[in-house]
Structure 1
């Protein structure tokens, strides 16, 4: 067993480097442009690593890795979408035009980008409001993932792990702005890559090799619980039965919701504004693709294969193994338990830093976007000094931090993947149609963009709170008002709200734009 002295030494070195990079970011943050887009001259390798490490968080590794422990290798379709849509389409189709138009408009944030493109203060403030109020839900999912692993690996209480972890994140994003975030993201991205490489190698070694491990997983099909089989589960190496409840959940919520949703993520879109030229975006393509392949592919594969390990050592499938001592099964504990039980002691510590890096890189980007939305996009006083803007930005960071901690304490068990998909789905429905049109359809009007965004937001929230069963049960609004868990009928109770809200958003955008004239004056809704 590795002496705890090694852990504390590694932790001290890790935190020391993190603090140093945050301090360097602080020293180089002299203006609001430095704080919001890192001066606009970031190296393409740093941009790609920062993009990838912000994209991949404990939500992907712990939350979606745990989901793979339940739903199997079908989640590898999300890896396919992450690489093709999240990297190739995002960089080439969206990133290059975003960087060019952002520089032409002289904007520093995603809400400002949308508002300036349509000459609409309403669009800027409405999108900033959505971000500042709902991104803490996604941030809480990431925070929970990091704290759950610390709880399992270090034997501390969940609340203690949450407090320690959150304070580390707050310290460097509060002072460093986007420069500090990008510096640390690049360092953390390298740690994440090394940790996941070690994890997949040791997982296959522990299970007898690649072929043997997958053969064992295939042979466990008869162990699928009856309740899951009734919903369409066909084993951990197969897709759920086409059209079944689980098929719709995997495809519409996990694969489409997150796979497409990455295109409209404000904290990722702003990364394209940090480089000096379009060539820099092309240079980051290969690095980003390999990084995403390794992060998600490993997490989903290990999550599914954890069933083999738990069955061989406890006679239970992965989800059942988390119900220790009569506890409620918790999908978010599958990966932490597998690492702490199946892997050597030294990897437990290495993976601790992998998850710390994954969570901190994503959370820093999330808190940064929350802070700029509150301080810069909702408070559009053009006479503000840079010093006041920076001060307000750091107040915004504290707001996002407090709201995230509260959600992390009170959200139910097993919520990581659901909360992540919810935020991605909302951003996709509200922002993606007008974001794509802003780049490629000159005929779009401000009215079309506004009504698309507002309609999608209202419809998406309505479906989440009153129709889609997973989220409706979590928030409990429908039950409190109507006394039932959901007002929906099958199959709409398990088809993701994105399937309705996104096409409706696009339809409203096209229809309203075609019947209205491009406005010379700003268009607002009173």
Structure 2
């Protein structure tokens, strides 16, 4: 089995490098020098094109992409690879559609909830948004913990529980020692490590002499592995199209990606970010899923599909290089966890506690945020103790829930100035409640993912509420 030592060395080095890098850049950011809390929470408008691309893709790429996605490709075949690649335009959608609008904002916001509060001036909306963000992120952080623990366990041979403990302690070391700027710089470094590790793994996998013959035998035994709709036709057109909404269009409603737009430097950075981000996203999406599919030819008898990436790393590499290569998926998981953990803790403190205690000092805000991080980490760790066989479903369920809550209020807030807080609140609540009701229904109605009817219902309720509000205002004006 692989030694854990190279992984620990990588994690320690990346922690030191990114913290030194962050400290140097923070000294250059003069606009927030008088506000320690904002320096910790958002870090200023400092994201340039390549840095924006790396942090956006690294945050979006998580245990779902490196563990759950390849596991699904292992189980359902080439169709899941095709399904995953539709994620590629997410950078263009996020930066190209929403980026210019957020960049035009005159005020610097620390969180997406703070922006929603300013835009709609509705306390109920802000509270529900904050609670939804925290619950959704706790579920997704738990998924990342499961993925990280499975990686360490599968490659190094340590127990799952020990792997979970090592990973949780590492997460705390990363997030407690730096704010948003440090998280972003960590994402950038880990994004480069991810990309390099993936390319190496793919080349090693393709160089296996028995790959082609084993793949031919496996596809003869299970021809549906090459079907565009997957094994047992699981990915029919209704499911395929609705998944494209979930992992492509709907990503404009994911708070942990949108918060990056609050720190973009200038319009030129958006353009460069779209170019570089699309290229990086394509490689980081295609390669791990394709490796998961090809891995079935070499290791066809795995009982837990999510073990395919750890198995490939452990079995195809020498122990030392497997430890080095393990840094890539660990980086993917870390880059998502630190972002979600920081944002959920900041939302609780900045959008919850500080609103009731506006006189709280900047130092107290930062310390309370760090305490909340520890509590959220403990809760997510508790949920990760007994993991399911496939984590991809939990990750996608949390994705859909966040989109059902945030997508239309964010888009309306940017592109529909006449929509008020009451209308946005109705859209948010109708999306959340309908999604939860549909998610609990099994099997799926017409084989359509719940996010599609939930988003349609939320949009319909928002339009109806807006029309009623306009009619009421018009009648009030006429009566006067």
Matched, 1:410 2:410: no
Matched, 1:36 2:41: yes
| Contact 2:112–2:255 (Cα < 8 Å) also in 1 | yes
- Using the TM superposition, give the Cα deviation of residue 493 of structure 1 relative to its aligned residue in structure 2, in angstroms: 7.8
- Using the TM superposition, give the Cα deviation of residue 504 of structure 1 relative to its aligned residue in structure 2, in angstroms: 0.4
Matched, 1:446 2:444: no
CA distance in 2 between counterparts of 1:57 and 1:164 reads 18
- Using the TM superposition, give the Cα deviation of residue 495 of structure 1 relative to its aligned residue in structure 2, in angstroms: 2.9
CA distance in 1 between counterparts of 2:209 and 2:99 reads 41
* 1:480 alignment partner in structure 2: none
**Equivalent position SS for 1:108:** coil
| Contact 2:76–2:231 (Cα < 8 Å) also in 1 | no
CA distance in 1 between counterparts of 2:214 and 2:72 reads 19
CA distance in 1 between counterparts of 2:363 and 2:66 reads 38
Show the 5 A alignment for 1:82-161. Answer: 82-84=87-89, 86-101=90-105, 104-161=106-163
- Using the TM superposition, give the Cα deviation of residue 237 of structure 1 relative to its aligned residue in structure 2, in angstroms: 2.0
> In the alignment, which of 218, 221, 224 is matched to residue 223 of structure 1?
221
Q: 1:149 to 1:122 in 2, by over 3 A?
A: same
Matched, 1:70 2:45: no
Matched, 1:374 2:348: yes
**Equivalent position SS for 1:38:** coil
CA distance in 1 between counterparts of 2:197 and 2:141 reads 22
Show the 5 A alignment for 1:421-500. Answer: 421-465=396-440, 467-469=441-443, 492=445, 494-500=447-453
| Contact 1:141–1:420 (Cα < 8 Å) also in 2 | yes
- Using the TM superposition, give the Cα deviation of residue 19 of structure 1 relative to its aligned residue in structure 2, in angstroms: 3.3
Q: 1:90 to 1:78 in 2, by over 3 A?
A: farther
* 1:484 alignment partner in structure 2: none
| Contact 2:253–2:402 (Cα < 8 Å) also in 1 | yes
| Contact 2:78–2:230 (Cα < 8 Å) also in 1 | no
Q: 1:519 to 1:72 in 2, by over 3 A?
A: farther
| Contact 1:74–1:239 (Cα < 8 Å) also in 2 | yes
* 2:335 alignment partner in structure 1: 361
- Using the TM superposition, give the Cα deviation of residue 153 of structure 1 relative to its aligned residue in structure 2, in angstroms: 0.8
Matched, 1:247 2:222: no
Show the 5 A alignment for 1:330-349. Answer: 330-349=304-323
| Contact 2:50–2:276 (Cα < 8 Å) also in 1 | yes
Structure 2 unaligned segments of length 5 or more: list them: 27-32, 474-480
- Using the TM superposition, give the Cα deviation of residue 114 of structure 1 relative to its aligned residue in structure 2, in angstroms: 1.6
Cα deviation 1:441-486 (Å, max 9, x = unaligned): 2232222110010111111112223x034xxxxxxxxxxxxxxxxx
Query: Aligned pair count?
Result: 463
Q: 1:411 to 1:149 in 2, by over 3 A?
A: closer
CA distance in 2 between counterparts of 1:309 and 1:243 reads 22
Cα deviation 1:311-341 (Å, max 9, x = unaligned): xxxxxx3xxx22xxxxxx2121122122212
- Using the TM superposition, give the Cα deviation of residue 108 of structure 1 relative to its aligned residue in structure 2, in angstroms: 1.5
CA distance in 1 between counterparts of 2:330 and 2:412 reads 37
Structure 1 unaligned segments of length 5 or more: list them: 225-233, 311-316, 323-328, 470-490, 521-526
* 1:262 alignment partner in structure 2: 251
* 2:30 alignment partner in structure 1: none
| Contact 2:58–2:335 (Cα < 8 Å) also in 1 | yes
TM-score (norm 1): 0.82
| Contact 2:7–2:326 (Cα < 8 Å) also in 1 | no
**Please, what is the CA RMSD of the aligned residues?**
2.6
Cα deviation 1:116-157 (Å, max 9, x = unaligned): 111222222211111112211111111111110110111100
Q: 1:176 to 1:120 in 2, by over 3 A?
A: same
| Contact 1:445–1:519 (Cα < 8 Å) also in 2 | no
Residue range with higher mean Cα deviation, 492-501 or 456-465: 492-501
TM-score (norm 2): 0.89
> In the alignment, which of 188, 191, 194 is matched to residue 192 of structure 1?
194
Q: 1:69 to 1:244 in 2, by over 3 A?
A: closer
| Contact 2:224–2:232 (Cα < 8 Å) also in 1 | no
CA distance in 2 between counterparts of 1:291 and 1:378 reads 36
Cα deviation 1:251-289 (Å, max 9, x = unaligned): 267543223332211111011111221221112122211
Matched, 1:17 2:19: no
**Equivalent position SS for 2:449:** coil
CA distance in 2 between counterparts of 1:72 and 1:248 reads 16
| Contact 2:83–2:244 (Cα < 8 Å) also in 1 | yes
- Using the TM superposition, give the Cα deviation of residue 158 of structure 1 relative to its aligned residue in structure 2, in angstroms: 0.3
- Using the TM superposition, give the Cα deviation of residue 189 of structure 1 relative to its aligned residue in structure 2, in angstroms: 0.9
CA distance in 1 between counterparts of 2:296 and 2:6 reads 33
* 2:477 alignment partner in structure 1: none
* 2:275 alignment partner in structure 1: 286
**Equivalent position SS for 2:82:** helix
Q: Which has the higher contact order (CA 8 A, sep 6+)?
A: 2
- Using the TM superposition, give the Cα deviation of residue 10 of structure 1 relative to its aligned residue in structure 2, in angstroms: 6.0
Cα deviation 1:168-198 (Å, max 9, x = unaligned): 1111211201111012111111110110010
CA distance in 1 between counterparts of 2:52 and 2:304 reads 35
| Contact 1:64–1:300 (Cα < 8 Å) also in 2 | yes
Residue range with higher mean Cα deviation, 152-161 or 22-31: 22-31
Residue range with higher mean Cα deviation, 74-83 or 161-170: 74-83
Residue range with higher mean Cα deviation, 442-451 or 159-168: 442-451
**Equivalent position SS for 1:284:** helix
Q: 1:9 to 1:66 in 2, by over 3 A?
A: closer
- Using the TM superposition, give the Cα deviation of residue 297 of structure 1 relative to its aligned residue in structure 2, in angstroms: 0.2
* 2:476 alignment partner in structure 1: none
